[in-house]
Structure 1
């Protein structure tokens, strides 16, 4: 249980409003990552008395049932079809590889390869060609000045920038100056280049700190693309591409969700490559069939847990949504075990979250926290019966992962260390203190640690060592998640009487209005986004891509969660649509 070993009791702190929740309202120790003293933060919990006979009269809000139930239990996957798809993938893969690695080393050929890499990423097949892509990018970046010299096509420049930045190559933003006029503003003439505008919009989301030209590009493209979308003057598939980008930029989008949309877009492009399109489609369908098999296994496992008969109906039954989150971290076939394990762990996070946030009282939650810290089944005697069920479920799930070989055995769960407390009572931390502790409290570290479970043992050890160093990239990501979490959940917090959040702390410290606080914190979150991008560029050469990518993809999962509002709790809208497009509606070949 390596993630527990590394991060101790943070396991019990899922984020807040959707899959993850912040825990407040009673003392909760977290282990310091720097070796300095930790702090006690407040955990949300109900204020009912701890007496067990009060439980039957406890008030709680019944949450919507799962939209999927046992839907995937009856799913049928044709193994012979999967084998046929796998064979066709292996047949076409060398042909696609030749399109990437053709022998010509001219500047134009190198430029074409970079644009082709974008197609591979967007169509969801880049994972087949990781070594070839890295070789092409390394060679291409050495020729970057030659490639951009005299190039005035907005699409080409923007896509090259997106590809290089996405893979950790710090291509200069000066390249976009050629699209500005004498007034130092972007030229109106480029507005008519719709594909170029979309690509510039996508590129602008990879900006780092102090890259004002990309801030201007974001504002310019957003304004004009929104106008184009309203006018509806372009072809339907172009309009859909614009709307999808405005809803969720590719930089933030989960790779397979974007690929599903982009395959449909690419198919309607007049100049699409039929062989490449075929490869993308059979690859995607092969993945879908794999995912459906796993969902069938997971649904059977979830049914066997039978939590609905063991617990009051206060918790969210969101197995399929938990698996969707796992897909955002690991979608490739070889990561099946890690993907399934991560989905199970996500259900643990959700149950613990809802137990603490929606049902347990202060003393009960404190007792559960102590059990999680000790990570010992013998400590359950102090728990009420329903919390024994919660702890057993968490314990058994991690035991399953260990027995499956996804975690190493014999690890220490020691969380000893001196603790520095916020004093008992109503002492309020400053906003900066809250953001610092909240970034850790938001469970970013333990969740990323769990996302490493699908890697091999040596890669996991390297990944945990890097994560325990508390890299600035993850720290900035955690703070951004805390701000997004508190902004999204503010109204819900206030309605339930919880005033421990970034908005309230900021208002109290800086004596500003609620409206001004929201404006400032939203800007702060945007600024942290550029810090994340900057730290990724600094980290790329020192941390293997397969490790860094899991942490990046976890950030995408957070973005998806908060852009969806309360859809994890009330799973309609985009959550339902994405589950349907990935796991229900098989792509047509």
Structure 2
């Protein structure tokens, strides 16, 4: 289910191994904290070696198991949609390539780019958008000079930063008093306040003005949305953004809601609205084709019948790159649940040793219940190779880099299980060092780079090999969210190997205090990601970076309303339904 977040046309998506223990741990106040080294547990929870004595929580089967197999796909409708989309693309492209006459026209062009992004149409005009933003940023001083409309300033700031242009947050000082607080006169400007709130989510570690914006805007926006004085479609847009701001939302999930909002705007462009609806419906039909193929592939493996019911029966939703990513996610889920929920330490160690070799003969050394898992692993890697064999460099990444990253992942499971086996309690920092590696996004990033072409792929691969700070921050972000939403489930299963527990013990604080600190850490990781993104955008192609930061978006969406992957209900189920079940009406 996590894979719904890689459907963004401009942003496709484990994580790097992080040596956090090289640095002396600090509290959030910046003071040094006492380091508590690995120690024996005071309460020993023995591993259950006998398969008959194992206990685990049986998760409900996916309710989407057969749905996508039975959904009819009308190829003739797709052909009709494609023809009309092509005609509308030509019209919009003509609008983008026409030279802007003066600053006023340039400003309108930048606002138009924001509209294309929000309607899910930016993927059709990558080069044209980049050229317009480049020209606009070169004239940014003139662009903003004398502009006192909060909505315009905030939107221009947001779109520039989204495409890697580090526009100064000083542009918002015109809306502040001398003491740094925002002027009361902007409070009644609903669209302006919402745009300021959205812009502030591009904050970095040193921008006090954006901190103040995020302190100031949410409460005011809640009052505006609930006050009954705004048109319903604006109130709905505000509520959706307060739940999940555009910076941290999947482009197409956001677009589905924004198309509905835009249709209610009196000054909407009928051609652009039609284009966005056609485009979204075409994508939905294309995704359904992929889902049908993946569901058939998954059912043919029949893992549900071959394995004990400890693993999450989740068939991710993802053309070629998404198919490979989806299969890998299924593999990751299976291995993760095996090591986390069922296998003893000796069994996990044997499985990891087999994964190091990845040869069929290794299967004989495994317990019977693990043999289907290992065969499934070999099958996924073999299929991934064949799907990417059309390009030599792509095949190299799948065969070499991906296999190596998967082995690193397996080693981290064994290392962590060994702590439990030896009844050792790591510090929070030590546990994060190991568990960050278990967040399986680094190999996913490798897979998402398939199709980039030799030059960009080599650049992206070498960048990832360096274990960049941006990816490290996203790994930490994912781990914190994962263990917060999974804490109660871990406790119910008698599993205390959770970073929430380790933080509580190390700092002698309550769960509530720990969650408050974790939420601050999550926000800090977002600031680091933003900062690194803006630095890297000076030298790295923006489409590579967009694919990378989508990993953070993936985890935010997955864990925004509980564990959407293990238990896809509530808001997460709404996302699935919105993208794959409720087709866009024309």
Same fold (TM over 0.5): yes
Counterpart of 1:27 in structure 2 is none
The SS at the match of 1:251 is: helix
CA distance in 1, matches of 2:274, 2:581: 20
**Aligned-pair CA distance for 1:457:** 4.5
Structure 1, 61-70 or 113-122: larger mean CA deviation: 61-70
Counterpart of 1:408 in structure 2 is 395
Contact 1:206 1:251 in 2 (8 A): yes
1:451 lines up with 2:448 in the alignment: yes
**Aligned-pair CA distance for 1:105:** 2.9
Counterpart of 1:283 in structure 2 is 279
Counterpart of 1:312 in structure 2 is 308
Structure 1, 65-74 or 214-223: larger mean CA deviation: 65-74
Contact 2:225 2:239 in 1 (8 A): yes
CA distance in 1, matches of 2:205, 2:247: 16
Structure 1, 396-405 or 490-499: larger mean CA deviation: 490-499
Q: Deviations over 1:116-136 (max 9, x none)?
A: 110010000101111111111
1:179 lines up with 2:175 in the alignment: yes
Contact 1:208 1:534 in 2 (8 A): yes
**Aligned-pair CA distance for 1:571:** 1.9
**Could you tell me which of 481, 486, 491 is aligned with 2:488?**
491
CA distance in 2, matches of 1:460, 1:588: 38
1:349 lines up with 2:332 in the alignment: yes
Contact 2:324 2:447 in 1 (8 A): no
Counterpart of 1:333 in structure 2 is none
Using a 3 Å threshold, how does the CA distance of structure 1 residues 454 and 63 change in structure 2: closer, same or farther? farther
Q: Any stretches of 5+ residues in structure 2 without a counterpart?
A: 7-14, 23-37
Counterpart of 1:535 in structure 2 is 532
Q: Deviations over 1:19-54 (max 9, x none)?
A: 9xxxxxxxxxx99689x99xx9x9xxx955545xx4
**Aligned-pair CA distance for 1:248:** 0.6
Counterpart of 1:274 in structure 2 is 270
* 1:202-213 alignment runs, 5 A limit: 202-213=198-209
CA distance in 1, matches of 2:424, 2:264: 60
**Could you tell me which of 344, 349, 352 is aligned with 1:361?**
344
Alignment TM-score, normalising by the size of structure 2: 0.86
1:378 lines up with 2:378 in the alignment: no
Contact 1:47 1:362 in 2 (8 A): no
CA distance in 1, matches of 2:550, 2:378: 27
Counterpart of 2:245 in structure 1 is 249
CA distance in 2, matches of 1:376, 1:394: 10
* 1:432-471 alignment runs, 5 A limit: 432-471=429-468
CA distance in 2, matches of 1:132, 1:31: 34
Counterpart of 1:23 in structure 2 is none
Contact 2:200 2:213 in 1 (8 A): yes
CA distance in 1, matches of 2:472, 2:293: 35
The SS at the match of 2:115 is: helix
Counterpart of 1:339 in structure 2 is 322
**Could you tell me which of 296, 302, 308 is aligned with 1:300?**
296
Using a 3 Å threshold, how does the CA distance of structure 1 residues 534 and 33 change in structure 2: closer, same or farther? closer
Structure 1, 468-477 or 439-448: larger mean CA deviation: 439-448
**Could you tell me which of 366, 378, 397 is aligned with 2:380?**
397
**Aligned-pair CA distance for 1:252:** 0.4
Contact 2:61 2:313 in 1 (8 A): yes
Contact 1:181 1:187 in 2 (8 A): yes
The SS at the match of 1:312 is: coil
> When the two structures are aligned, how many residues end up with a matched partner?
541
Using a 3 Å threshold, how does the CA distance of structure 1 residues 33 and 530 change in structure 2: closer, same or farther? closer
Contact 1:33 1:468 in 2 (8 A): no
CA distance in 1, matches of 2:282, 2:459: 31
Counterpart of 1:24 in structure 2 is none
The SS at the match of 1:563 is: coil
Structure 1, 263-272 or 403-412: larger mean CA deviation: 403-412
Using a 3 Å threshold, how does the CA distance of structure 1 residues 60 and 435 change in structure 2: closer, same or farther? closer
The SS at the match of 2:210 is: helix
Q: Deviations over 1:150-193 (max 9, x none)?
A: 10000000000000011111101111011113443111111111
CA distance in 2, matches of 1:466, 1:578: 32
Counterpart of 2:65 in structure 1 is 69
Q: Any stretches of 5+ residues in structure 1 without a counterpart?
A: 1-13, 20-29, 327-335
Contact 2:151 2:196 in 1 (8 A): yes
1:96 lines up with 2:79 in the alignment: no
CA distance in 2, matches of 1:390, 1:478: 26
4+ runs of 1 displaced by more than 6 Å?
A: 30-34, 418-424
Contact 1:339 1:454 in 2 (8 A): no
1:228 lines up with 2:211 in the alignment: no
Counterpart of 2:31 in structure 1 is none
1:143 lines up with 2:130 in the alignment: no
Contact 2:16 2:472 in 1 (8 A): no
Contact 1:122 1:262 in 2 (8 A): yes
